């Protein structure tokens, strides 16, 4: 380090008061430092003006004192290498936003080969908030499964991918488990012969699984699974009962039985859906998980909360109902209580795995990756899983003969243009480019930005504005430092 080198504080520092201490966070590195009062006083003049938590403003106006290391007080000077490593200070001429953008573009290109396969649009549940259109019960054929496997193999060979991740999706993917078995068998053998790493994952409702659940996961190399519940048993059975030839039947115990058979065998995420009616009862799910022994540190079991939102036009009514809009404040409190209780069983790493800690986002969605694709059951090709089933949102179609045909005319609306995902760029967005939360958000959901879903975009900003300090404090407590 040159003696005359000049430095300044990072724009992406955020200071969180926490009693007698200050928690200093940097969004670029994800570092979280504990400062006592003495060190806080010494450091404050060099950090620049403290900012309110407002999202979407500030970068263009950011000014922080410039200094040489020799000008710093001794208490800071002796710790300066650690502060520099944590990203708290950066070279005077550093283009922080430019560095983030360069990294973002690199990760779009370097991201792993990620293929989502929708085995069917059919489902044995009828959730009121489902974003799929009713009546679209397409099921992938064996011939289409073979065509998709062939497409993946050609992509690996022509583009030189060294690893592939296949995600099984629906509808309910286990209603067409034959396709999972068929494609997995072809791809696992192919990848082994080529020296390519293969991993699978699944998003499912936990029903319709075979008796040999563990064997099914192992032979199909399913590395992680997301299950979901609508709260505790009374809510789950009422809202997500299974539909069959003999009417509806409860689903809670079947879902929990599937999870119980697989805990410890693969990584499991349990998404607990919450709306104004489930509310605080969502915390009861943790009690049930504890009773079943799933919260032990070595189970690889990760429960988390998700508020029910308007994901597509089909369930857009949710975003127009005041009861849902008003519930977001209460949900934040429910979430706080949920993760505080979870932290009594797990260390802070669990909060990172369930994305409750604001770690740096290198790529905000597979949809904006250059190496990701989503297949509908009929071979339609999409970039976003939420678009599956809306054929006019597909950009191409894979035929059973392996040919790929374009589906979107160049003159179509900008929100449906074939390159709309490639053009997504949070660094040209007026609010995102200025925002102090950019490293931990990267514009949030690209679909919401592209299609101007203002309610979703607003809530993304409000989440960080209203909850950032609380989350940092809770994470620090969970870390036991």
Residue 298 has pLDDT above 70, yes or no: yes
Across 246-250, 371-375, 460-464, 473-477, the highest mean pLDDT is recorded for 371-375
Quick one: pLDDT at residue 360?
92
228-232: average pLDDT:
97
| pLDDT tens digits for range 378-392 | 999 999 999 998 888
Tell me if 1 is assigned to some domain: no
Between 74 and 311, name the one with better pLDDT. Answer: 74
Model pLDDT, residue 314? 41
Say yes or no: 204 and 60 in one domain: no
- 472, part of any domain: no
Q: Residue 411's pLDDT is what?
A: 45
Question: What is the SS3 assignment for 370-391?
Answer: CCEEEECCCCEEECCHHHCCCH
Sign of CA dihedral 61, 462, 363, 25: positive
Residues 279 and 228 both lie in one domain: yes
On whether both 70 and 179 belong to a single domain, the answer is: no
* CATH number of the domain to which 240 belongs: 3.20.20.70
Could you tell me if 65 and 186 lie in one domain? no
Instruction: State the Cα–Cα distance between residues 229 and 236, nearest whole angstrom.
Output: 6
User: Domain check: are 269 and 310 in the same one?
Assistant: yes
Mean pLDDT of the 450-454 span: 84
Does residue 467 carry a pLDDT above 70?
yes
Based on the fold, state whether residues 109 and 256 are members of the same structural domain.
yes
Tell me which DSSP letter residue 9 carries: E
pLDDT score of 315 more than 50 = no
Q: What domain range includes position 62?
A: 8-94
Question: Do 85 and 158 have their domain in common?
Answer: no
> Under a CB-based contact definition with an 8 Å cutoff, are residues 150 and 157 in contact?
no
Q: Are residues 285 and 173 in the same domain?
A: yes
Task: Write down which residue in 47, 72, 94 finishes a domain.
Answer: 94
Are 293 and 259 within 8 A, CB to CB?
no
Specify which residues 273 forms β-bridges with: 306
Q: Does the pLDDT at position 119 exceed 80?
A: yes
Residue where a domain terminates, one of 48, 71, 94: 94
* Confidence band, pLDDT 50/70/90 cuts, at residue 244: confident
273 shares a domain with 205: yes
Per cent of the chain over pLDDT 90 is 76
Cα(63)–Cα(9) distance, integer angstroms: 9
Could you tell me how far CA 32 lies from the centroid of its own chain?
A: 21
Q: Are residues 220 and 314 in the same domain?
A: yes
CB distance 118 to 381 below 8 Å:
no
**Contact assessment for residue 229 and residue 273, using Cβ atoms and an 8 Å cutoff:** yes
Strands 89-91 vs 113-118: parallel, antiparallel or unpaired: unpaired
Same domain, 19 and 163: no
From the CB of residue 128, how many other CB atoms can be counted at a distance below 10 Å? 12
Return the minimum-mean-pLDDT range out of 16-25, 228-237, 251-260, 350-359: 350-359
In angstroms, the CA 356 to CA 198 distance is 28
Q: Is the pLDDT of residue 312 over 60?
A: no
Domain assignment of residue 337, yes or no: yes
Residue at a domain's end among 304, 330, 353: 353
169 touches 185 (CB < 8 A): no
238 and 278 inside one domain: yes
Phi, psi of 80 (to 5 degrees): -60, -40
Number of domains in the chain: 2
Q: Note whether 171 and 132 are within 8 A (CB).
A: yes
Q: How high is the pLDDT of residue 265?
A: 97
* 201 found inside a domain: yes
Please check whether residue 186 lies inside any domain of the structure: yes
Q: Is residue 26 within 8 Å of residue 81, measured between CB atoms?
A: no
pLDDT tens digit string along 64-117? Answer: 999 999 999 999 999 999 999 999 999 999 999 999 999 999 999 999 999 999
pLDDT mean across residues, the chain: 91
User: Quick one: pLDDT at residue 1?
Assistant: 67
According to DSSP, the β-strands at 301-307 and 267-274 are parallel
Residue 428, φ and ψ in degrees, nearest 5: -105, 0
In a domain, 27, yes or no: yes
Residue 180: inside a domain, yes or no? yes
* Residue 287: inside a domain: yes
């Amino acid at each position: 380090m040159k003696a005359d080198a000049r430095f300044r504080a990072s724009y992406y520092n955020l200071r969180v008061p926490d009693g007698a201490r200050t928690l200093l966070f940097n969004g670029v590195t994800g570092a979280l430092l504990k400062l006592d009062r003495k060190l806080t006083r010494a450091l404050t003049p060099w950090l620049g003006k403290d900012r309110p938590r407002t999202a979407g403003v500030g970068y263009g106006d950011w000014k922080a004192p410039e200094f040489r290391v020799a000008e710093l007080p001794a208490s800071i000077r002796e710790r300066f290498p650690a502060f520099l490593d944590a990203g708290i200070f950066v070279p005077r001429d550093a283009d922080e936003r430019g560095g983030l953008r360069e990294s973002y573009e690199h990760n779009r290109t370097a991201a792993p080969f990620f293929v989502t396969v929708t085995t069917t649009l059919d489902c044995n549940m009828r959730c009121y908030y489902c974003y799929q259109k009713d009546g679209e019960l397409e099921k992938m054929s064996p011939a289409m499964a073979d065509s998709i496997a062939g497409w993946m193999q050609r992509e690996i060979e022509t583009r030189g991918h060294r690893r592939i991740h296949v995600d099984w999706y629906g509808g309910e993917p286990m209603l067409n488990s034959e396709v999972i078995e068929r494609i997995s068998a072809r791809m696992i053998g192919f990848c082994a012969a080529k020296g390519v790493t293969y991993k699978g994952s699944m998003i499912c409702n936990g029903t319709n699984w075979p008796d040999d659940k563990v064997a099914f996961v192992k032979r199909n190399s399913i590395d992680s699974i997301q299950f979901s519940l609508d709260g505790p048993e009374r809510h789950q059975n009422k809202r997500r009962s299974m539909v069959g030839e003999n009417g509806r039947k409860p689903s809670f115990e079947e879902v929990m039985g599937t999870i119980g058979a697989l805990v410890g065998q693969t990584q499991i995420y349990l998404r607990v859906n919450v709306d104004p009616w489930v509310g605080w009862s969502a915390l009861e799910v943790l009690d049930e998980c504890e009773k079943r022994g799933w919260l032990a540190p070595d189970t690889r079991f990760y429960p988390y909360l998700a508020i029910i939102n308007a994901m597509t036009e089909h369930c857009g009514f949710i975003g127009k109902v005041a009861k849902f809009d008003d519930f977001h404040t209460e949900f934040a409190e429910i979430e706080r209580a949920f993760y505080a209780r979870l932290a009594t069983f797990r260390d802070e790493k669990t909060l990172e795995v369930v994305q409750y800690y604001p770690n740096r986002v290198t790529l905000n969605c597979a949809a904006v990756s250059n190496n990701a694709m989503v297949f509908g059951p009929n071979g339609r090709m999409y970039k976003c899983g939420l678009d599956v089933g809306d054929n006019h949102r597909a950009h191409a179609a894979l035929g059973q003969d392996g040919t790929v045909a374009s589906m979107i005319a160049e003159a179509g609306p900008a929100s449906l243009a074939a390159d709309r995902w490639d053009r997504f760029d949070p660094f040209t967005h007026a609010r995102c480019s200025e925002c102090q939360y950019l490293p931990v958000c990267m514009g949030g959901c690209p679909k919401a930005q592209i299609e101007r879903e203002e309610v979703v975009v607003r809530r993304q900003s409000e989440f960080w504005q209203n909850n950032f300090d609380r989350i940092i404090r809770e994470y620090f407590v969970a870390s036991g430092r």
